[in-house]
Amino acid sequence: MPSSQDPVIDLFQGWPSPSLLPTSLLQAASQTLLSNPSLSTPSLLYGPDPGPSCLLEHLSQYLSKFYSTSWTSSSRLTITGGASQSLACILQVYSDPSYTKNVYMVSPTYFLACRIFEDNGFAGRLVAVPEDQEGIDIQRLEELLARDDLENGWLDARATKRPLPCQKHFKNIIYCVPTFSNPSGKTMSLGRREQLVRLARKHDALIIADDVYDLLHWNPARLGAAAMPRLVDIDHTLDGGVSSPYGHVVSNGSFSKVLGPGLRTGWTESTELFALGLSKCGSTRSGGSPSQFTASIIAESLRTGAFQQYLDHVLIPAYRQRSAMALEAVQRYLLPHGVVLVTIKDSNKANLARQMCAAVEGGYYIYIQLPKLLDATRFAEQAARQENVIVGSGENFEVVGDEASVPIKHGVRICFTWEDEHRIVEGIRRLGKVLEQAMAKTGT
């Protein structure tokens, strides 16, 4: 039983704000769709494999503008049932556990991805790769790939799946969240992105980039534009363009974080051949593109501009405000007790005020490191027990099966979207109390 009488504040839940869910946008779009048989009939039947053309077209226009990519087109996209479902389909088509060697995951990682890899035959073959301020530790990844290439026999193993002529199996998989990462909030630098693409090409690796937070970007100097080129765009342009018709990157996008996860709709962008192969995934061929109905509703909201309005004038201003308040509270209640802000490049106190405005430029999370004497998992338990505050911590973000390689002992993730503003600040204030007591016990 929690000793505190205060209401529970959940800073763990990586969900969108319930008070901001776009119900009127969805109501208007559904109304239009369902009142017109030429729209409603196809939306309620099986759809084409790559997804309904209405969403493919409107989305490709939207993405071209947001990412400044003249090459984005419907034929490079597939509509999915969200990033999780899509990850499973990508693995079904483009990996074979008796041929594909390992899955290299940036650690701390989006923990729920681990089970999707395990379901697809990679249990015991998830390899943790640390990240530094620029993103994935490329030197370590290179060493690991080189080490694993030398293992005897593996590359001669016979694949058990039967890829179609428009499909292939990659020898390695690299999984990352390059922009506004979950959980660290970091954005991989441009240089690191280029190194990563080159490494993937060298080792026949497919980079699966969960780009699910990209659209939530609020740096005032670049409103309405992406924080960074996606890895899939770098693969398109780097060193003369893709080195194989499949490319080496698939961008995994989602409407979950911007409209609502209940819609279960997302998209991928890749080369045309990769997209074709992905759209021929068995479950898609049998059932048609997933989320045919909700995808058609979303297409309608893009067509009218309601989606763009909602994102630019409702969601982004609200999340920008929440992130700023959360940062201020972290500065006030946590930093004095020795906490380091990981999401920010240099959380040295002298520089912090200067960095604050640019510190969190998007996404859902702030990630902090507790002082070395404190264990994050124990701290989270204490926060829940004493103060009714829930946070994600330590073990939650380790790569399953390879925890020892990159142990997460001191990391704590604070989500600033789920709770309303004053509750975020109050939650962080309570975390400060727990921290103060814990530090007092260490005698420092």
Ligand X SMILES: Cc1ncc(COP(=O)(O)O)c(C=O)c1O
Binding site for ligand X (CB under 6 A): 14, 82-84, 110, 177, 182, 210, 212, 254, 256, 261, 266
DSSP3 helix / strand / coil % (the chain, rounded to 5): 50, 15, 40
Phi/psi at 87 (5° precision): -60, -45
- CB burial string 266-291: b at 16+ within 10 A, e below: bbbbbbbbbbbbbbbbeebeeebbbb
- Closest separation between CB of residue 257 and ligand X, Å? 7
- Shortest reach from residue 311's CB to ligand X, in Å: 16
Position with the least CB separation from ligand X: 82
One-letter amino acid for residue 395 of the chain: E
- The backbone region for 397, taken as left when phi is positive above 0, alpha when psi lies in -120 to 50, beta otherwise, is alpha
350's CB contacts (< 8 A; 6+ apart) are: none
**Which one, 395 or 436, has the nearer CB to ligand X?**
395
Within its chain, how far is the Cα of 81 from the centroid? 15
Residue 290 CB, nearest approach to ligand X (Å): 11
Q: At what angle do helices 190-202 and 138-149 cross, to 10 degrees?
A: 10
- State both tokens at 371: 């002082």
Residue with Cβ nearer ligand X (259 or 438): 259
**Comparison of 121 and 261: residue with beta carbon closer to ligand X:** 261
Distance CA 399, CA 384 (A): 24
Q: By C-beta, is 212 or 439 nearer to ligand X?
A: 212
Query: Smallest distance from the beta carbon of 85 to ligand X, in angstroms?
Result: 6
Give the shortest CB-191-to-ligand X separation in angstroms: 22
Residue closer to ligand X by CB (options 187, 331) is: 187
Residue number with CB closer to ligand X (382 or 393): 393
Nearer CB in complex with ligand X: 15/154: 15
Closest separation between CB of residue 220 and ligand X, Å?
25
As measured in angstroms, the least distance from the Cβ of 353 to ligand X is 30
Which of 352, 341, 353 lies closest to 414 in space, CA to CA? 341
Beta-bridged to residue 254, according to DSSP, are 266
Residue number, 71 or 111, with CB nearest to ligand X: 111
* Bridge pairing between strands 126-132 and 103-107: parallel
Distance of CA 44 to the CA centre of its chain: 29
Smallest separation (angstroms) from ligand X to the CB of 217: 15
